[in-house]
Structure 1
């Protein structure tokens, strides 16, 4: 159902560098690029994640309670994305770990903010 998500940025070049390095950690690259935005994804038939300068010309702000989640296929990738985000200057919002209980539907996630304050989550559902 979701085609793509966008978060705002006040420095598109800085955001592109952050997300190139972050998503490069799991082999995901740029799929779409225009003057005001850039988006990353694994294929055209899957949702993409993008950053954009706000259309109205006002400053981009992060929303409290707003978050985008990136699903990956291993806990190691959750750990790597979280660690990479912090290494790139992002802020920790909850280190990688199981939320709830272990098991077949265990929710393993790490939370962080990008350089513009947008909150993201990397997660995997399933056993270790």
Structure 2
């Protein structure tokens, strides 16, 4: 995605509201990902979110972000292992993600509809009485 264009992306905004990541953590992951081949630390600081941030603070935020992502993935694996999510739900998540990527520039109403379907898809199956 173009640099910082994601900040105006309604899909990112809506997903972030439901995410385990904070906005700073997302920004740290994106900065790190976009600069994998370059040094981002200069004189003990990282240019982050328009400010010079001590490298320790930046890497702490990045570490927290990675930990949250890892825990989310492990949670999904555990849910599948325990039978609380099935392969159809994972498949639906991937399909919805693909559709969302295709409509980045389209109607906000359609985006909201897809996000609601995504939430419904990943809800834990309701217990049958």
Give the TM-score normalised by the residue count of structure 2: 0.28
Higher CA-based Rg: 2
Q: Which has the higher strand share?
A: 1
- Greater percentage in helix: 2
TM-score by length of 1: 0.28
